[in-house]
Structure formats: structure tokens, C-alpha cells
A and B are shown apart, each in its own frame.
Chain A
């Protein structure tokens, strides 16, 4: 049981490049989310999903795309990287229903130059 696995752990991109941050969970969790963490800002929700085929926007969705074709995987795509997207990205998942907190991955540190 690996929990929530994020790859890569570190990435440097040039402005304008695109890339996909991978997230996989093996706990059969229906809910999955992507957050970004910036100094002094806490964690902010980018996109979330309540099940395969269902996604919705969070607080800061601009510049990011998601899809959910399976329960296990929830990739985050950066369409055209900008320096403002330099951040630490966390994927999280949890069971359906109340009383369950999110389990977080270990994060991807992204720098856009």
C-alpha cells in the first residue's frame, strides 16, 4: 500500500513549456485533489475530482488542466508554464463521505525559469 504517489519530485521548466505532474493512489479513494503551496499562502486548491470522469475547478485553476479517466490516477497538466507557477504541488485523496481527511502525497517542487 503505497498511498499517494507523486512524480516527479523535482522539476525545472522554461517559461512556455508544458508538462504533466503525475498522481496515483492505491487506496480506492473516490475523491482526489491538487493543491499548490506557496510561502505565506497556505495550500490553495487547483482542481478536484469526486470520481472517474468528474472534475471541477478550485480556487486557482487558471493555467492548469486535469482529467480523471481511472479511480487511481489524477494527472495535472501545465499548459504553458509561467514563473508564477513556481510552487510545491501536492496531490491528495480521500474516501467518500464525511469524517475522512485527505491523504497527501510527498509533493512535486516545480521551478519555472
Chain B
């Protein structure tokens, strides 16, 4: 079993829809949770960074962490065609100094105009 599980999709939604992306994990030591966005043939770019449990909002993006369920989510409001990309969750543990990220497989998202 992988440490981090992410539905690879693909996920296709109409423009303006609310998108929900999710990851589950098995390692209870994970404390740092990130979402990266990766456009085709590009490197991942950091979208959201959350420490421990709770919510974090940045514009149209909201990240949620539920450590009791070992479940993290990324919500995209008012989705735009420019949001079409692969979204990767990543996490790390304090014992590793947060250097070693463990990634999910990535979910490919398409926003249709």
C-alpha cells in the first residue's frame, strides 16, 4: 500500500464549477501538507502549504487537512480553463525535517469552457 493515495482521474468539469481534489495517507507522522499544480511538460509549482490540521484559503483555493481521518482536500471555486492541470498532493514529517516529500500520483483536471 502506498503511503499517499490520490485518485488519478481524469476529472473533467464545466467552467465555474467547484472542484474537490483529495488525498488519503497512512503515515500518522505527516505534519506538513502541500498541493502542487503541474502544467503539461512543466515542473510542479507550489499552490498551498498547510501545517497540521485545519483550513487555509488563498483566493479561489482552499486546502483542508483532517488528521483524524488522514485525509486532505483542495477545493477550487469558480474554476477556470487555466486551472486545467495535474494536481499533486505532497506531505512530510517533522522527523525528516520536512525535506523528504512523499507525493500522491496526481489528479489530472480539465475545466471545460
Interface residues of A (CB under 8 A from B): 4, 31, 33, 35, 40-45, 48, 50, 58, 90, 92, 98-107
Contact = CB atoms under 8 A, between A and B. Distances in A.
B43 A105 contact: yes
B66 interface: no
10 contacts: A31-B99, A40-B8, A40-B105, A42-B4, A42-B103, A43-B90, A99-B49, A100-B49, A105-B43, A107-B43
Contact of B44 (A40, A43, A45): A43
A58 B100 contact: yes
Interface residues of B, number: 27
Contacts, number: 57
B100 A101 contact: no
B101 interface: yes
Interface in B85-101: 88, 90, 94, 97-101
A72 B6 CA distance: 33
Interface of B: 4, 6, 8, 32, 34, 36, 41-46, 49, 51, 88, 90, 94, 97-106
B42 to A, nearest CB: 6
* Residue of A4, A100, A102, A103 with most chain B CB atoms under a 10 A cut-off: A102
Given A31-B99, A42-B103, 12 more contacts: A40-B8, A42-B4, A42-B105, A43-B101, A43-B103, A44-B103, A92-B43, A98-B94, A98-B98, A99-B51, A101-B46, A101-B49
Contacts of B43: 4, 90, 92, 104-107
A35 B100 CA distance: 10
Nearest to A33: B99
B44 A104 contact: yes
Q: Top 8 closest A-B pairs, CB basis?
A: A104-B43, A101-B46, A42-B103, A43-B103, A42-B105, A104-B44, A106-B43, A101-B49
